[in-house]
Copies of this chain bind each other. A is one copy, B any other.
């Protein structure tokens, strides 16, 4: 609203730091117009996703600017990937505290630039505003998908196997470590976990290759159990997961070995940004081939079943002895 000694004006900021991010996308008009224009190729649809993140809620208030930028983008890319879409472009609303410096904006834009290159997308528009509150960033990401091929939550069938990419639990254990819990961990282990929390790795290349294989798909953001619950609800099914088959990093395994109750945190904590999907058992071989070809571990962790008795949770997690685990919480609660 008022000019600030700390920042150049909005138009100057856009020209200096954000317009370069629109280069290569003709319809973004170098961010010199009021809106962008997007063309879809024949036979293609657009997949649209938005997620906002708030300092002190979704990331530490003193997080490095480039990591904030990349996390803001990546939490959206993770959804596009789980839906089978190829990322194309995004818009960003930056709501900045009055203390924001030009250096911060420069580092933020450089984080975006780095991830644009990694994931092959362009900035096509946005908005910058000041707030008396915490830094808040909303991203809307758009991706391409062949007509009718979007991977839904609701396509699972009873008997389908449940698969997950990568490893589960690092991010939630990392968040706990960042907040000073797990203080017995050595620096390396804690550092590995914390890095996974600070910078998720969306499965952008793998996602589109699940088209034709996955019957249902979701990214793991609320937590493995909660997100599998989402697939169950929309598919009208239940699920059985064997905890011992859930893939863990060696850092997570070491952390859980120190206190088995931390397995709960890993299974329900969220922020993994892996893809959780279901597929017919007949697809298992092809999924194994895809895992080898892509270099992304894909692990079977259970199967879909008819809805259990109404008194039970839709998702049953069996411990090593085959007994249902009592989970302290079912997943990330937004509020």
Contacts and interface: CB of A to CB of B under 8 A. Distances in A.
Contact of A95 (B35, B52, B127, B145): B52
A52 B3 CA distance: 19
Give the interface size bracket for A toward B.
35 or more
A131 B129 contact: no
B93 A138 contact: yes
Contacts of A91: 48-50, 140
Interface stretch (A77-85, A186-194, A261-269, A320-328): A77-85
Interface in A6-59: 7, 9-10, 27, 29, 32-40, 42, 45-54, 56-58
Contacts of A49: 34-36, 91, 125
A46 B38 contact: yes
A128 interface: yes
A233 B29 CA distance: 14
Contacts of A126: 50
B150 A37 contact: yes
B133 A133 contact: yes
Given A1-B333, A57-B1, A125-B50, A131 B134 contact: yes
A46 B51 contact: no
Contacts of A36: 47-49
A237 interface: no
Interface in A199-233: 218-219, 233
B10 A334 contact: yes
A45 B35 contact: no
A223 to B, nearest CB: 14
A152 interface: yes
Given A3-B333, A52-B95, A34 B133 contact: no
B136 A95 contact: yes
A26 to B, nearest CB: 11
A311 interface: no
Contact of A48 (B7, B10, B124): B124
Contacts of A133: 54, 131-134, 136
| CB-CB nearest 7 A-B residue pairs | A133-B133, A138-B138, A52-B93, A35-B49, A140-B140, A10-B334, A93-B138
Given A48-B140, A95-B138, 12 more contacts: A2-B333, A9-B335, A35-B79, A38-B46, A48-B142, A54-B129, A54-B131, A57-B132, A128-B334, A128-B335, A130-B334, A140-B140
Interface of A: 1-4, 7, 9-10, 27, 29, 32-40, 42, 45-54, 56-58, 79-80, 82-83, 85, 91-93, 95-96, 124-134, 136, 138, 140, 142, 145, 147, 150, 152-154, 218-219, 233-234, 333-335
